[in-house]
Structure 1
Amino acid sequence: MKRDSQFRYSQLANILREQILSGYLRPGQYLMSEHELCKHYDMSRTSVRKSLEQLLKDNFIVKKAGQGTIVSPDLVIPATQRKTLRIVAISPSHFADIAMPIIIDRFQQSHPNVDVKLLSLPAHDFWASIRKSSEMGLQPDIILVSDRQIMETEGEAETFYDLREPLKDYLPAMYPRLVTAFRRDDTMIAAPVTFSTVYLAYNPNLFDTYNVAHPGPHWTQEDFIHAAQKLTVDTDGDGIVDQYGLSLHSSSNRWPVLALQNGFNFKGTSQKEPLMATLTFIHDLLYRLRIATLTSQYHATSEAFIHEKAGMVLTTSIELAGWRNENLGFEPQVAPLPFGNVKATLLLANAFMVPAACNELELAGQFLQTAFNPDVQDLIGRTSQFLSVLKSINEKLWDADILQSLHIVNDAIVNSYFQHEVFADWSNLEEMEAEMGLYWAGLESASSVAEAILNKILA
């Protein structure tokens, strides 16, 4: 736990330092408050304070009593004659933290006179921060985002460069499903550099400890419930259950997998039964059988699974790579999704976008070509276990059974969907998340919230 905490506050200190060195935060300018930094970067107040202490020690910031923290007015940023490629990434981002240094290092081997500046901005209000950066004269050449940020750009295809031309040599090797997912008006506005389905991961150590059979290819919902029941334990005998079968996330990029597997269509469907079955099953897990613990949508990770307090979790290879980077104490395994008769799930991705106002278009194209080079994709997969967007790389690095459980072999990936494909529009998704607050607390029935979703949100 101590190392995890050190990693988090050092990470934020590096993000703020780069914002200062890049000019995004200028001498004399106020930083966000500690409360705002906690919210925007999903960190504890302790980690935020340690980050600021580190920057204060290095003379990057000055604290003004009763007013806040400012960038040191005396700080001098040296000028350079070298070319600069500016990349802005969302934060937090496991891919930016783990894989981007690999890509940048490989790019600079062939472009030694180019400085790559990676600036991380909070995912919350990300595009507002991009606009602010551009207004200050810090126009990004490349943007690294998740599919959720891409969803927010609906109707703005003309503001991004069409990536089909610079990536023409790599597109045929990618999963066609990924290539077509981010086209707008016949323009490929984003190119996924890694992706993942949402799948079920489990802790084999806990399964062995409690004599639970490991999931097999024909694992059923009844098998899943039985396993979760055996894994739900009061480990210290104090009368309080402190280990659960499942860590369940209330985020809209997790639980809808259960609805998809039950055959529910979120785009204006009038079918209540599949949604009711899904919401009732979730309440069963949480409040009737009490074999699952809940992680709020406002927290980025499943602490219960990470700290071996839950035997299973719905997750992605992107999230899992981040957990491994923080010294996860066991090696998670992949289990087939057992929640319904429809073999469907959600997709998530990290993707590059190139703004139409990019100042270094040729360099940006060359950087993307580096990122999608098979050797680089292979290295990222081997060292961090991110899934590659190149089908051949995954087939080389992963066993066929694992790829089958991930729903990415043969035509299975066709039945996997990004959020912007599942929900009719962005406002529908936000309204649904707001509507379900009482439901997640067990204070509103499955029937009631199903009616609300159908009548108010999906109509």
Structure 2
Amino acid sequence: MRRDNEFRYSRLANMLREQIVSGYIKPGQFLLSENELCKYYGMSRTSVRKSLEQLHKEGLIVKKVGQGTIVSPDFVPSPGEKRTLRILATSPSHYVDNCLGTIIEAFQARYPQIDVKLLHFPSFNFWDWQRTGAELGVRPDLVLVTDRSFAESDRLDPFIDLGDKLPDLLDGFYPRIVEPFRHEGVLRALPVTFSPVYLAYNPRLFRRFGVPEPYPGWSREQLIEAAGQLTRDEDGDGVTDLYGLSLSSFPSRWPVVALQNGVKFDATTSRESIVETLKLFRDVLHRKRIATLYQPYRSKINLHAFLREKAAMVLTTSIEIAGWRSEGMTFEAKVAPLPFGPVKSTLLVANAFMIHKDSGDPELALEFLRIALDPGLQTELARDTGFMSCLPDVNAVVWNKRHLESLNITGRHIENGYFLHELFADSHRLDDLSGEMELFWAGLEQPEPLADRIYGILSGAT
């Protein structure tokens, strides 16, 4: 844990240092407050303070009592002599933490004369930060985004058509992963990793309590039975301290259960499919009490119940699992087929690169993408980190057929997988749904009245 904390504080110090050196935060300007840094970068106050102390020792910042922290008025950025490739990324990011460093090393091994600068902005209001940076003269060559950040952009025309520039690479991709990143026929972003949302389980807990492990074709009833057997009061104090299942109120997780029960999140959705979904949530969370609810906005990633072996199963992604490994996960999670309903469907998540039209060196940025998507490097990253490749041939080498089929992947085909922005072209509709469900998640509302309101939202009645 100590090494992890040191890594966190060094990472934030590097982020802030790059913002200062690049000129995004200018001499005399205030940094975000400690509370804002904790919130936007997902770090503890201790890590934030150690980061600021490091920058203070370097003479980059000055603390003004009662006001905050400013970039030292005496700091003068020195012009770089090397040719530079600038990458802007959201933070926090499992992909940046676990993969990007390896890709940069491979790139610099081929182009040692090129200096790569990585600039992080908080994922919260990412595009507002990016626009502010552009106004201050910070123009990245590459922008690394999540699928959700991509969907939240209100201006995609400043980014080049990657389909036109890299047509040879696209032949090796899962077609299902590429198409959602087209806007008005133009490929504005190219994914470099993706994952379906799937059910992971801890085989060690299944073995400890003699519960049969999930297998192809297992049913919702068998999932509920297994979760019940795994829910335990291990210390005998009358309070459950091990749950069979961890669910999440986050919109990139719970809709999987709805999709499997026939909810289409449009006007064709039936009220009955919504009720069926909500009853399942109510039963496992509040009636049987065999599931715990993870609310990511209120929790730190390293406190997740599954990571700490306080939940035996969880809806997750290979991207999230890779992050948990770096957080010190002590077991190897396995994949179980999703058994929540009769429809074989799930959500997809991805990280993708975009190249700005104002890039100072677009050809160099394209070469970086070619290296990032090299099959050999993709295979190395998949084996070392668990991140899935966007190249079917790579995944077929790293994972066996049963593993991939549990993720709804067969050959180059991904069955009924949807990115969130495909289900909710209007993000306000998703916000409306999330707001309506808060009392339900707390166990304070029955499925039927909530189903009526959700049905009204999806059918366009409200």
Give TM-score, length-normalised by structure 1. 0.96
* Counterpart amino acid of residue 231 in structure 2: T
Is the 2:392–2:412 Cα contact (8 Å) retained in structure 1? no
Indicate conservation of the 8 Å contact 2:244/2:290, yes or no: yes
Partner of 1:371: 372
Deviation at 1:32, TM superposition (A): 0.7
Cα RMSD after superposing both structures: 1.6
Is contact 1:431–1:457 with CA below 8 Å preserved after alignment? no
Q: How does 1:261-340 map to 2 (within 5 A)?
A: 261-298=260-297, 299=299, 301=301, 303-340=304-341
What pairs with 1:73-222 in structure 2 (closer than 5 Å)? 73-153=73-153, 156-222=155-221
Superimposed CA distance per residue, residues 208-241 of structure 1 (whole angstroms, 9 cap, x where no aligned partner): 1111111111211111111111111111122211
Q: Deviations over 1:55-104 (max 9, x none)?
A: 22333322111001112223333222221111100001110111111111
Structure 1 gaps of 5+ residues are none
Give percent identity, aligned residues only.
52
C-alpha separation between the residues in 2 aligned to 1:165 and 1:424? 25
| Matched residue count | 458
The residue aligned with 1:380 is 381
Per-residue deviation, 1:435: 2.0
Tell me the equivalent position of 1:448: 449
Question: What secondary structure, in the 3-state scheme, does the structure 2 residue paired with 1:24 have?
Answer: coil
Alpha-carbon distance in 2 for matches of 1:4, 1:292: 29
Residue 411 of structure 1 and its aligned partner are, at CA, apart by 6.9
Q: Distance in 1 between matches of 2:212 and 2:415?
A: 30
Any unmatched runs of 5+ in structure 2? none
Structure 1 80/8 Cα, relative in aligned 2: closer, same or farther at 3 Å?
closer
Tell me how far apart the structure 2 counterparts of residues 230 and 297 of structure 1 sit (CA, whole Å): 26
- The match for 1:415 is 416
Cα distance in 1 for partners of 2:362, 2:340 equals 46
Structure 1 equivalent of residue 12 of structure 2 = 12
- CA drift of 1:14 comes to 2.0
Q: Confirm or deny: 8 A CA contact 1:321 1:386 kept in the other structure.
A: yes
The question of whether the paired residues in 2 share the 8 Å contact of 1:157 and 1:187 is answered with no
Q: Which moved more, 1:358-367 or 1:185-194?
A: 358-367
- The SS at the match of 2:47 is helix
Rounded Cα–Cα distance in structure 2 between residues aligned with 1:12 and 1:360: 27
C-alpha separation in 2, matches of 1:200 and 1:88: 32
SS of equivalent to 1:352: strand
Farther-moved stretch of structure 1 (392-401 vs 429-438):
429-438
Q: Is the 8 A contact 1:195 1:347 kept in 2?
A: yes
Relative distance call for 1:46 and 1:444 in structure 2 (3 A) is farther
Contact conserved, 2:265 with 2:458, CA < 8 A, in 1? no
Distance change in 2, residues 1:186/1:424 (3 Å): closer
Q: Residues 180-212 of structure 1, C-alpha deviation per residue, up to 9 Å, x if partnerless?
A: 121111100111100000000011111111111
Give me the whole-angstrom Cα distance separating, in 1, the residues matched to 2:283 and 2:148: 29
Partners of 2:372 and 2:248 in 1: CA distance: 31
Q: What does the per-residue CA deviation read over 1:292-336, in whole Å, with 9 as the maximum and x for residues that have no partner? A: 111114146361111111101100001111111222111111111
Give the CA deviation at 1:276.
1.0
* Aligned-residue offset at 1:254: 0.2
Question: Are 1:157 and 1:185, in contact at CA under 8 Å, matched by a contact in 2?
Answer: no
- SS of the aligned residue for 2:84 comes to strand
